[in-house]
Structure 1
Amino acid sequence: MKLDPRRQYDERRRRDQPWRRLYHLARWRRIRAGQLKRQPLCERCLGNGVITPATVCHHVVPHRGDEALFWAGPFASSCADCHDIDEGRIERGGQARQTLDADGWPITG
C-alpha cells in the first residue's frame, strides 16, 4: 500500500528533523506566547514601515536542531509571510525580498 505524498513528506520530515517535536511542547507554546505578547507586530514589516500582526515566534539564530539554541533564543516576532518566505531564503543562502515603494520599485540603500 502506497502512502499519500503528503504523508510521505510528513514521515520524511519526522525522520530527518526530529527536533520539530519541540514545537508541540507546552514550554515552546509559553515562549511563543510571551514573545508575541512583548512584540505583537512583525519586526521585519515594521522595519519597512508596514504594520502587520505577528503570528510566528522566530529563532533569530538558526538552531539547526541544537536543543540548547532552540530554547535560548534570541527570538523575534514575524508575520507568516516574512518568516516562511524571507527567512527561508536567508537560511538557504539567499536574501530577503526587496522592499518596494508605492510605485512598486525596489527601495535601495
Structure 2
Amino acid sequence: MKTNLKFLSLMATLTEEEVSGFWKYLQLHYPNEGNALKVFRYYKRFFPHRQNPVKMALPFAYRKIYTSETTPGIAEQKKIWNAFSKLYLWLKEYLVLEKMRSARFVS
C-alpha cells in the first residue's frame, strides 16, 4: 500500500498553529464531510512532527478510523483514498487563502 501520500507530505510542512487552523477551517466549511473529517481527526494528532509511523501506516489507521478488525479490501481502501484526495485539495485551498489573507495585511 502506498504510504507517501501528497496530503501527509504537505501536512508535514505545517506548524502546529496551521494544523489547528486547518482543522477549524474544515469544521467551518465542510461540516458534512464525515469521512474526510474522521480521517483528518485521526491523523492530525501526529503532526507536525509525524510521530508514531506505526500508527500512521494505512492498514493500522484504517482499522482505528473505521473500527474494523479486518484488513481493508480494494473497495474499503477507496474510502480512505477518497478522503485523502479531498483533504489534499482542501489543504491547498486553505494554504492559498491564508497566504492571501496575510499578504493583504503586509501590503
Task: Give the TM-score taking structure 2 as reference length.
Answer: 0.26
Larger Rg: 1
Which structure has more helix as a fraction of its residues?
2
Pick 1 or 2: higher relative contact order, CA cutoff 8 A, min separation 6. 2
TM value normalised by structure 1 = 0.25
From the two aligned structures, give the one with the greater strand fraction: 1
